[in-house]
Structure 1
C-alpha cells in the first residue's frame, strides 16, 4: 500500500501558507517527516488524517481517495496527535474498552481480548487499573499508541511523539514503534533527528510548508561524505565564521562552539573533514545551501 500526496496546499485564514505544493510518495514501513517547529508538519498530518481540508491537491491511500472518502480513511487510520488528551479519572483498561466500542468492536469477548493484547504490547498491563491522571508522559504516549492500534490500522500517524519524554521513556516508545508491522505505513512526524535515525528507512525534510528532500537516510548520508568540515573556535569568532562560510550548525563543547561547514573543498585552514551524521543532512537543507526539492 502507498500513501500518495500530490500538489497539496493549504493557507489559513490569517494568511499563513502552511503547505505549499506538497508532493510525497510514502510506502509501507517507517517514514520520518523531519522539520523545525512551524514547518508545516502538523498541518500535513491533520490533512492526511481528515481533520482539515486543503485548498488544493489530492491524497490517496491505496484505492481510497482520502479527501472524499473520509469514513473509509478513518476505519484504517491510527492517529496519535501532538496534543493527546485523555480522561483523567478513568483507567487505561476502561478507556481502551470504551474507545474500542466507538471503533465498532461490539463483541465483548473479542474486545476484552484485544484490549488485553494491546495493554501487554504497550507494557501497560500491570497499570491497567490505574487512572490515566497518574500516568507519566511516556506511559500516556504508549497508551496513545494502544488506542491508535485498536482497529488494526494500515496507516498510523504519530506527531512529535517523544517531545518532553525522558531518555528511558523515549527508548521504550521508539522500541514500540519499531515493532509495528512492516505492512503498515507509519509516519513519524518530528523535529528530533535521532528519532528518525533510529527507526526510518525513508524520510523527508519539510520547512516553511515545502518539501526540501525525500529519500533514504543512508543514501543522504553517503551524498554528504567529504562535504562536512568541523572546527572548534573561540566564541567571539563564531559570528565572523558564519558571515563568510556555509555554517550549518554549531554546538558548544567545553564552552567553545564546534562549527560544521558544508563545502565541497576545505573552507579554511583549521577545518578538518568529519564523518556526516543525520543532523548534518537535516541542517544542510534547513540552514545550508543544498538544492531544494531533491529526491535521494
Structure 2
C-alpha cells in the first residue's frame, strides 16, 4: 500500500500559493511532515483528506492488490478508509465520550449495533479512556481530548491516518503517550504526522519530508538526511556584539542562547573560521539547513582566508 502524491498545486483566492508542485510517495508506517507555520503543511493535509480540491495534481491511495482510490475524483471512497485528526478538533462538551464516539461511528457507516458497540469499546480501551468513558468531554484534559480525537479517527480501521499538529499544547507526559500510540498505529496503516516538532519526527518516523512556502525541500529517511550533513555543521560561542557581522560573513542556520550568550550554528564544507567547532548533526540541523537554503547560500558565499588553527 502506498499513497502517491503527484505535482499537487493549490492557490487560494487571496493569491497565496500554498502548494507548488508537491510530489511524494508515502509507504506504510509513520511519515513525518515538517515545516514552519505557513509552510503548506495543513493545506497538504486538507487536500489529502478531501476537504479541499487542488488546482492540479493527483492524490492516489494504492493497495497491494493493485486497486487504487483517487482522492480528487473519488473523495467518498477515500473517506471510507481515512482517519483524520485536524489541528483544531472540536467536541460536544456536554456529551460523554462513549455516547459521542458511538454517534460518530454511525456517521462513519458502522450501522450494526453489536459491531459498533464492540468497536467503540475497543477503541476507548486502546486510547486509555475506558475508565472515564461516561464523563463529559468538557472535563477532559488536553491530552485526553487528543486521545479521544485519535479514537474517532480510528473508527472503521482506516488504511490512511492523518494527524495535524497532534501534540500542540500537551504536557510532556501526555505528548509521549500520544506519540507512542501513533507509533503503534503505524504498524498497520499509513500515518501522516504533520508537525513543527523536529524531535518527534527523528524519534518516530522512517519517512519524512520538509516543505516551506509550498515547496518540497527534502524527502527521505531521517537518518539518511542527517548523514548527508556529517562534517558540515559548526558552532561558536560568541558575544552579542559579534552576531550581526558573523551572520554577514558565514552561512548561519541557527542561533541559540546558552547561559545568556549566543551560540551560532554555521553550515560549511570545512571549518569556517577560528573558534568554530564541529557539531554532530541531528534532524534539527537538517531542518534549519533546508529552511534557510544553506547549501545554496554557501555556494554564493565569498571565500574567506583560511582559518588560523
Per the TM superposition, whether the score is higher than 0.5 is yes
CA distance in 2, matches of 1:135, 1:218: 37
CA distance in 2, matches of 1:15, 1:245: 34
CA contact (8 A) 2:30 2:186 kept: no
Q: CA deviation at 1:257?
A: 1.3
CA distance in 2, matches of 1:232, 1:138: 38
Q: Which has the larger radius of gyration?
A: 2
CA distance in 2, matches of 1:239, 1:140: 45
User: What's 2:101 paired with?
Assistant: 96
CA distance in 2, matches of 1:241, 1:165: 37
User: What's 1:79 paired with?
Assistant: 84
- For the aligned residues, what is the CA RMSD? 1.1
User: What's 2:228 paired with?
Assistant: 223
- Secondary structure of the corresponding residue to residue 208 of structure 2: strand
CA contact (8 A) 2:233 2:265 kept: yes
Q: CA deviation at 1:286?
A: 0.3
User: What's 1:10 paired with?
Assistant: 10
Equivalent positions of 1:189-208 (< 5 A) are: 189-208=194-213
Q: Which of 184, 187, 197 is 1:179 aligned to?
A: 184
Q: CA deviation at 1:287?
A: 1.2
Q: CA deviation at 1:228?
A: 0.6
- Secondary structure of the corresponding residue to residue 223 of structure 2: helix
CA contact (8 A) 1:203 1:214 kept: yes
Q: CA deviation at 1:181?
A: 4.2
User: What's 1:235 paired with?
Assistant: 240
Q: CA deviation at 1:103?
A: 1.1
Q: Which of 163, 167, 174 is 2:172 aligned to?
A: 167
Equivalent positions of 1:50-69 (< 5 A) are: 50-62=50-62, 63-69=68-74
- Secondary structure of the corresponding residue to residue 221 of structure 1: helix
- Secondary structure of the corresponding residue to residue 21 of structure 2: strand
Cα deviation code 1:167-221 (max 9, x no counterpart): 1111111011011142310000011101111110010000000000101000111
CA contact (8 A) 2:53 2:72 kept: yes
User: What's 1:32 paired with?
Assistant: 32
Which segments of 5 or more consecutive residues in structure 2 lack a partner in the other structure? Answer: 63-67, 298-309
CA distance in 2, matches of 1:291, 1:195: 27
User: What's 1:146 paired with?
Assistant: 151
1:19 aligns with 2:24: no
CA contact (8 A) 1:76 1:152 kept: yes
CA contact (8 A) 2:31 2:207 kept: yes
CA contact (8 A) 1:246 1:288 kept: no
TM-score by length of 1: 0.96
User: What's 1:289 paired with?
Assistant: 294
TM-score by length of 2: 0.92
CA contact (8 A) 2:18 2:214 kept: yes
Q: CA deviation at 1:40?
A: 0.3
- Secondary structure of the corresponding residue to residue 179 of structure 1: helix
CA distance in 2, matches of 1:291, 1:14: 30
User: What's 1:49 paired with?
Assistant: 49
CA distance in 1, matches of 2:285, 2:186: 30
CA distance in 1, matches of 2:41, 2:296: 20
- Secondary structure of the corresponding residue to residue 13 of structure 1: coil
Cα deviation code 1:3-48 (max 9, x no counterpart): 1111110100000000001111111100000000000000000000
Equivalent positions of 1:117-156 (< 5 A) are: 117-156=122-161
